[in-house]
């Protein structure tokens, strides 16, 4: 049995595409290989891939006969996508392109993804699968509160929602009071937003004195920025809704790549449309299920911009075993960090997310933390600063001493590096919203 926060208990498992969502594994893998042949042929039309694949003896898609062959293909990086801006990764005639999306380009040259009619159709198909897996049906009123335009969140979910037959309100982001008014007037049942915007919506609901019973909200699909299980619980409790996790990236269309089903236990990744690999970000070795590493995706159906073995820089792990919902598509955990965040401390590779994971297990400390790195000669020193959580404070020095020791031991067992743990006053460390600076590296170069 499962527990939902829904006003109506809705235990029905819905599929948008039952046949392909519940294939058997063996068939799915065969299907991937078949699609891979087509994808590689498509990629060979791109100068970048032609050079690269010919270089390792791949002249046609038929040269990929097994996953072993596939694994010989070098990874594609974001920088490589960027370097051929604007048209380098276009593999069809521009006449056949019906839309393009670009990344924001805030960190440099943007990446461009072109879409044919089929690409857009497939994308809509996948977001439809996602939302239906999370319980949405044609009876729902869907208010899409993410940006429309180059940002893929708005249009990606919009087309999928229409495919399901929901009533779509293309609200876009911003204008919170009007958003809430629309929720009231049109009895919105499902929303799509970023977690931080959803928290903001709640604040405004309270500020405006609106009673939750005036709304008909049942579920929210939240993505586009990382958030923790605590934020999910908080939003579910405050708004009396079910919150489902969504993961996607513009290079793989946008939303519609990985999504939670009603069991909220990991995000199903549509493996008939993407090959999912988890690799060791340092060695590039493909890791088995359960191991944390970097997600690597290969598109399997994209015509206009096929991408082979794309390094997302996002860290996660694949869940072992099959989900109760019956879908064969493997699940990934919420994104726990970025490979860019990796620190090398006394020779050990450490991700801040590993430290965070430990801290979150201690109710005696808050969710804010800071990682300080200093060095003395060749030796690095790791200091982890955490905040005391007021509600759990008992006023005992011995408990504080033991808490510090337990957290330090726990971190050491997780990352092998011995940390100094410091306790600080509640609210004294920078807040977690947005891009708070978690890591302060004051090590001088040798």
Partner 1 sequence: MAKELNVFIDNKPGRLKAITGLLKEKKINLRALTIQVREDFGLIKTIVDKPNEAYMTISDKGFACALKEILAILIDDSPGGLDDILDIFAENNININDSYAFIIDSGNKAVYCVEVVDIEKVKALLEKNGFKLLDDQDLYGL
| Contacts with partner 1, residue ranges (CB under 8 A) | 385, 388-390, 393-398, 400-401, 422-428
Q: What is the DSSP letter of 391?
A: G
Q: DSSP per residue over 90-157, as a string?
A: --S-GGGEEEEEE---TTSSPPEEEEEHHHHHHHHHHHHHHHHHTT--TT-EEEE-S--SSSHHHHHH
Up-side HSE of residue 398: CA atoms within 13 Å toward CB?
0
**Nearest to partner 1 of 394, 445 (CB atom):** 394
Residue 383 neighbours by CB under 8 Å, 6+ apart: 371, 372, 373, 374, 419, 420, 421, 422
| Distance from C-alpha of 133 to C-alpha of 263, rounded to nearest angstrom | 9
As measured in angstroms, the least distance from the Cβ of 407 to partner 1 is 12
**Nearest to partner 1 of 209, 395 (CB atom):** 395
As measured in angstroms, the least distance from the Cβ of 392 to partner 1 is 8
Q: What is the DSSP letter of 286?
A: B
Say if residue 245 is exposed, middle or buried (CB neighbours under 10 Å; 0-12, 13-18, 19+): buried
**Nearest to partner 1 of 334, 404 (CB atom):** 404
Report whether 433 contacts 225 (CB < 8 A): no
**Nearest to partner 1 of 394, 435 (CB atom):** 394
As measured in angstroms, the least distance from the Cβ of 296 to partner 1 is 41
As measured in angstroms, the least distance from the Cβ of 430 to partner 1 is 14
From the CB of residue 379, how many other CB atoms can be counted at a distance below 10 Å?
8
Put residue 264 in one of left, alpha, beta given phi > 0 → left and psi -120 to 50 → alpha: left
Put residue 388 in one of left, alpha, beta given phi > 0 → left and psi -120 to 50 → alpha: beta
As measured in angstroms, the least distance from the Cβ of 443 to partner 1 is 20
**Nearest to partner 1 of 19, 376 (CB atom):** 376
Element (H, E) at 440: strand 439-441
**Nearest to partner 1 of 60, 420 (CB atom):** 420
**Nearest to partner 1 of 210, 423 (CB atom):** 423
**Nearest to partner 1 of 182, 423 (CB atom):** 423
Report whether 318 contacts 278 (CB < 8 A): yes
As measured in angstroms, the least distance from the Cβ of 442 to partner 1 is 17
As measured in angstroms, the least distance from the Cβ of 365 to partner 1 is 10
- The two tokens of residue 64 are 């990929």
**Nearest to partner 1 of 1, 397 (CB atom):** 397
**Nearest to partner 1 of 3, 397 (CB atom):** 397
As measured in angstroms, the least distance from the Cβ of 107 to partner 1 is 35
As measured in angstroms, the least distance from the Cβ of 415 to partner 1 is 20
| Distance from C-alpha of 295 to C-alpha of 297, rounded to nearest angstrom | 7
As measured in angstroms, the least distance from the Cβ of 397 to partner 1 is 5
**Nearest to partner 1 of 13, 373 (CB atom):** 373
Report whether 407 contacts 371 (CB < 8 A): no
Tokens 């879409």 belong to 115
Backbone angles phi, psi at 348, to 5 degrees: -95, 140
Residue 166 neighbours by CB under 8 Å, 6+ apart: 131, 136, 137, 138, 139, 140, 141, 142, 190
Report whether 74 contacts 53 (CB < 8 A): no
As measured in angstroms, the least distance from the Cβ of 366 to partner 1 is 10
């Amino acid at each position: 049995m499962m527990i939902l926060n829904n006003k109506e208990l809705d235990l029905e498992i819905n599929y948008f595409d039952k046949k392909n969502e519940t294939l058997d594994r063996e068939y799915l893998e065969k299907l991937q290989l078949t699609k891979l042949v087509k994808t590689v042929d498509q990629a060979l039309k791109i100068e970048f891939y032609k050079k690269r694949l010919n270089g390792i003896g791949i002249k046609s898609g038929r040269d990929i006969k097994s996953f072993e062959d596939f694994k010989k293909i070098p990874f594609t990086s974001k920088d490589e996508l960027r370097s051929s801006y604007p048209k380098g990764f276009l593999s069809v005639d521009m006449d056949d392109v019906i839309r393009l999306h670009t990344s924001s380009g805030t960190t440099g040259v943007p990446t461009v993804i072109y879409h044919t009619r089929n690409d857009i159709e497939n994308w809509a198909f996948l977001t439809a699968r996602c939302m239906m897996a999370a319980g949405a049906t044609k009876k729902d009123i869907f208010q899409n509160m993410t940006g429309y335009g180059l940002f893929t969140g708005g249009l990606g979910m919009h087309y999928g929602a229409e495919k399901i037959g929901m009533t779509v309100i293309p609200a876009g982001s911003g204008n919170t009071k009007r958003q809430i008014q629309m929720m009231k007037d049109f009895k919105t049942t499902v929303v799509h937003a970023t977690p931080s915007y959803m928290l903001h919506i709640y604040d405004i609901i309270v500020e405006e004195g609106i009673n939750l019973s005036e709304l008909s909200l049942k579920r929210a699909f939240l993505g586009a920025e990382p958030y923790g299980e605590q934020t999910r619980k908080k939003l579910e409790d405050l708004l009396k809704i079910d919150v489902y996790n969504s993961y996607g990236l513009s290079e793989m269309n946008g939303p519609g790549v990985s999504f939670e089903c009603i069991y909220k236990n990991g995000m199903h990744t549509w493996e008939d449309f993407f090959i999912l690999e988890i690799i060791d970000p340092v060695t590039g070795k493909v890791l088995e299920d359960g191991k944390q590493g970097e997600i690597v995706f290969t598109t399997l159906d994209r015509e206009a911009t096929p991408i082979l073995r794309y390094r997302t820089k996002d860290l996660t792990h694949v869940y072992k075993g099959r989900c109760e919902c019956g879908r064969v598509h493997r699940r990934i955990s919420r994104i726990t960090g970025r490979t860019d965040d990796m620190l090398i401390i006394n020779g050990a590779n450490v991700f801040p997310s590993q430290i965070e994971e430990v801290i979150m297990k201690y109710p005696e400390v808050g969710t804010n933390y800071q990682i300080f790195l200093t060095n003395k000669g060749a030796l690095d020193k790791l200091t982890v600063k955490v905040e005391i959580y007021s509600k759990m404070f008992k006023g005992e020095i011995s408990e504080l001493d033991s808490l510090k020791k337990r957290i330090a031991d726990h971190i050491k067992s997780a990352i092998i590096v011995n940390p100094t743990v410091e306790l600080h006053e509640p609210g004294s460390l920078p807040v977690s919203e947005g891009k708070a600076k978690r890591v302060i590296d004051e090590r001088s170069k040798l």
